[in-house]
Structure 1
Amino acid sequence: MMNGLLSPRQLQVLQDCAKDPASLQRIMAVIEDIQRGNSVPPPAFEHQATTSALDGNARHFQLLQTISDTVPDHIYVKDRQCRFIMVNRAAWQTWGFAGPEAMIGKTDIDLFGETERDTLEAENQLMATGQASINHEVYAHEYCAVPMWFLISKMPLYDSNGHITGLIGINRNITDRKEAEQHALELAAERERIQVLSDFIRDASHEFRTPLSVIRAAAYLLKHMKEPDEHQLRQITSIETQASSILRLVEDLATMARLDSGASLNLQPVDLTGIIRAVLYQHREQANALDLHITLDLPDRLMLDADAEELQLAFGRLLENAIRYNRTGGSIYIHADTAPETCTVSIADTGMGITPDEITSIFNRLYRKDQARTTRGFGLGLPIARQIIEQHQGHIEVISKPDHGSTFLVVLPLNPSGIAEGAR
């Protein structure tokens, strides 16, 4: 094709198909050439090959109709007055017509109304100048059952004397591509938003830690430098407690920001039994304060490839949840077993339980089962635990019944694959 115009060779291939049905592949190549705007070198000029592109030979159009009906792209031919003289199945079905007969002999304005005035004028300009329109993106929403994006190419057709007799058009549905591009843009914007938020939380957390540490240290000194009376002791203890709570919130926010940023895991062979025992030791005072009875049913060693620091953080949050929402004098049962490729750890408590509606929400950030906030916590523990477990290609399941406690099942692969590794 020269300068975007249908070449004599391309016309000849269309004509040959009327004589040789085996030429299907060649006409498909012509359609692809038209769509891409490629050139097809013309053969030596022969008088008998100068048949008009729109010569009225019914067999030619019937064959072109039959072949084009198998193509998912919209293919159509218009005469010099911009009236459809051939349209394939994909086109008339997408545009909501019962068949090609409903479109033949009509212009876009006849079919779709005055909104297509610009289209008609552009086609008239194309046939007046001979300048093709290649790969023009159009959003069609007024006359399609479902809004679509099309990549549209239109080329003039010539007779044997070089006069323009009409045009051929191909509309390719690129809706999936455009939606993917839009999704990519939205994803990039979301990543940028998360990065900005993560940077802010990281910087704010750093700034908060120092004054909070100073407040805690001052409270400690006040408590031990002299003998405070009962009222003073209560106030000092309150300062310590509240400062510790705020510091914990800051640390949890910083942890969520770090996890959101996609920080890599430092995978090493670790003993999960040892990690769980260490977590239990860290939380012994909290458990003792509620007089909880904790039973461990763990193998002596449970080896898997994981980030020990992250798993300790995840199981710490799960154990805190089992302690926080338990009842005084209740119990916690921790059990672990292995399968050929996975291990499962269950943490069961005798607390207040969770309703089916709440189960879908407990892993949402800042969600609190205790809406009255009589129980300490900020609603970040379970989201942190789940994100860490999922980064290890595992998952958490919840089994619960109100007033009968809850069981959290953690399933982890023994040898996860495809995880971004490296020391942070």
Structure 2
Amino acid sequence: MIIEDNIMTDKRTRADLLNEIHQLQARIAQLEAQYQHAMQKKSVSDNEVHLSQLLETLPITIFIYQNHQMVYLNPAAHHLGGYDLEAIIGDNFWQIVHPDSVDTLRDAFRQFNSAGELNARIEVKAYNVHHQLRILDVQMVSISYNHQPALLGAVLDVTERLHAHERQLALEAEKQRVKLLTDFVRDVSHDFRTPLSTINTCVYLLGRIDDPIKRQQQLDIMREQVRHLDKLVDGLLTMSRLDSGLVTPFKLFDLNLVIIESVQSLTPYIKEKKHHIHTDLQDDLSLIMGDMQDVYRAVREIILNAVQYTPSSGDIVIQTRQHDTMVMIMVQDNGDGISEADLPRIFDRFFRADQARTIGGVGLGLSIARKVIEYHHGHIDVQSKIHHGSVFRIYLPIRPPHEDT
């Protein structure tokens, strides 16, 4: 019995020992895990210390956004805006953001707060301490800061760079404007001088000619030159009126009728050049709300352009179509075409391609046409190829937005 009791005691002792060993192993594993976690936290903490030290030395403005507020700004931020950093830390930074940029910045922060990550580049307008508006280029990326998601932002002041670019663009635009005005003065002077010189010659001859037939010939020449001057002045006045926004009240009119009248007004010129006009006008085209005289002027200028720059015996197709609430006028010719270099500028006022200078005019026709169509909330598209002709398409709404009731 004593031996059996000893055996049972020995078994319990071994079982207890194994249990204690297992508990000790579990405790060691727990301590090891805690140690590893502590070391990891120390490593992260060390990394964040190194990050802070690095950010302190950077010459560009750096911020850290976390928990809906600005939690860090490096010293360079003071040089950027001139503010005491304590004055704009937290959520006080919103007071220096321009109203135009508030929504843009809030959207970026909202996206980060929702997704927990962000990689974005935005432009922000903000005021410096002197209340001067600055343009800031802001690049933001997600990081971990103090064991929590955060946004690291780098800020560059690009105000002067943008202003320099704008000044350069303004200078180029001014040079272009001066060139256009110089060309305009030259062309207008020529277009006025030529008929005036002709009229002056006719007046001189009338004082020395007694033959009634020859006198009538000189009078006819004078009348033609006066008509040319009247047309030139009318074009200048029309452009001036359109620029000032002075237009007559809109009324309903038949666009097909406008096209027919435009072609009829050019019939002598069309016959002179022996052109073939092909019209394809949609019968059930809706009436258009607009200024009939101005639209007539615009359509006539587009058709006249085709007549002028199409060699003799050319083909010109004029078509109208309606698509929902828009109508389209197409004028297609098989004329000289427009070069790729000139195509972007054909609607610029006073611009004339080299071949146009032999025809006359001051380059206002297409400018007037576009101005009229745009005032009616429409637009003009052009496709052209040298020696293959051009296609002009005018798009007009049946009811311009400001005429809706």
**TM-score between both structures, scaled by the size of structure 2:** 0.51
Aligned-partner residue type, residue 393 of structure 1: H
Matched, 1:70 2:65: yes
Q: Alignment partner of 1:312: what SS?
A: helix
Q: How does 1:283-322 map to 2 (within 5 A)?
A: 283-302=266-285, 303-322=287-306
Aligned-partner residue type, residue 375 of structure 1: I
Q: Alignment partner of 1:328: what SS?
A: coil
Structure 1 residue 235: deviation in Å? 4.7
Q: Distance in 1 between matches of 2:228 and 2:354?
A: 17
Q: Alignment partner of 2:229: what SS?
A: helix
Q: Distance in 1 between matches of 2:130 and 2:337?
A: 63
Aligned-partner residue type, residue 379 of structure 2: H
Aligned-partner residue type, residue 331 of structure 1: D
Structure 1 residue 347: deviation in Å? 0.7
Q: What's the counterpart of residue 150 of structure 1?
A: 127
Q: Distance in 1 between matches of 2:404 and 2:211?
A: 54
Q: Distance in 2 between matches of 1:243 and 1:153?
A: 62
Q: 2:335 aligns with which of 337, 347, 351?
A: 351
Q: What's the counterpart of residue 369 of structure 1?
A: 353
Q: Distance in 2 between matches of 1:291 and 1:330?
A: 7
Q: Distance in 2 between matches of 1:330 and 1:234?
A: 32
Conserved? CA contact 2:382–2:392, under 8 Å: yes
Aligned-partner residue type, residue 73 of structure 2: N
Q: 1:229 to 1:367 in 2, by over 3 A?
A: same
Structure 1 residue 306: deviation in Å? 1.7
Larger radius of gyration: 2
Q: Please, which runs of 5 or more residues in structure 2 have no aligned partner?
A: 1-62, 85-94, 99-122, 132-156, 175-180, 182-191
Structure 1 residue 372: deviation in Å? 6.9
Q: Alignment partner of 1:357: what SS?
A: coil
Q: How does 1:186-201 map to 2 (within 5 A)?
A: none
Q: What's the counterpart of residue 239 of structure 1?
A: 222
Conserved? CA contact 1:274–1:301, under 8 Å: no
Q: What's the counterpart of residue 254 of structure 2?
A: 271
Structure 1 residue 226: deviation in Å? 7.8
C-alpha distance after superposition, 1:325-356 (max 9, x if no partner): 12112121101111111111101122211112
Aligned-partner residue type, residue 313 of structure 2: G
CA RMSD of the aligned region, Å? Answer: 5.1
Conserved? CA contact 1:353–1:406, under 8 Å: yes
Q: 1:345 to 1:148 in 2, by over 3 A?
A: closer
Q: 1:237 to 1:373 in 2, by over 3 A?
A: farther
Q: Distance in 2 between matches of 1:337 and 1:399?
A: 18
Q: Distance in 2 between matches of 1:420 and 1:151?
A: 46
C-alpha distance after superposition, 1:178-200 (max 9, x if no partner): x9xx99xx9xxx9xxxxxx9xxx
Structure 1 residue 418: deviation in Å? 2.8
Q: 1:227 to 1:389 in 2, by over 3 A?
A: farther
Q: Alignment partner of 1:418: what SS?
A: helix
Structure 1 residue 238: deviation in Å? 4.0
C-alpha distance after superposition, 1:382-411 (max 9, x if no partner): 000001001111111111111122111111
Q: What's the counterpart of residue 73 of structure 2?
A: 88
Q: How does 1:402-413 map to 2 (within 5 A)?
A: 402-413=386-397
Structure 1 residue 244: deviation in Å? 2.3
Conserved? CA contact 1:317–1:381, under 8 Å: yes
Structure 1 residue 149: deviation in Å? 6.3
Q: Alignment partner of 1:377: what SS?
A: coil
Matched, 1:260 2:243: yes
C-alpha distance after superposition, 1:197-223 (max 9, x if no partner): 9xxxxxxxxxx9xxx9xx79x98xx7x
Q: Distance in 1 between matches of 2:213 and 2:326?
A: 56
Q: What's the counterpart of residue 102 of structure 2?
A: none
Structure 1 residue 371: deviation in Å? 4.6
Q: Distance in 1 between matches of 2:328 and 2:309?
A: 22
Q: How does 1:394-409 map to 2 (within 5 A)?
A: 394-409=378-393
C-alpha distance after superposition, 1:252-303 (max 9, x if no partner): 1111111111224522221101111111111111111212111111023522
Identity %: 30
Q: Distance in 1 between matches of 2:388 and 2:340?
A: 13
Q: Alignment partner of 2:341: what SS?
A: helix
Q: 1:403 to 1:236 in 2, by over 3 A?
A: farther
Aligned-partner residue type, residue 88 of structure 1: L
Q: Distance in 1 between matches of 2:267 and 2:308?
A: 13
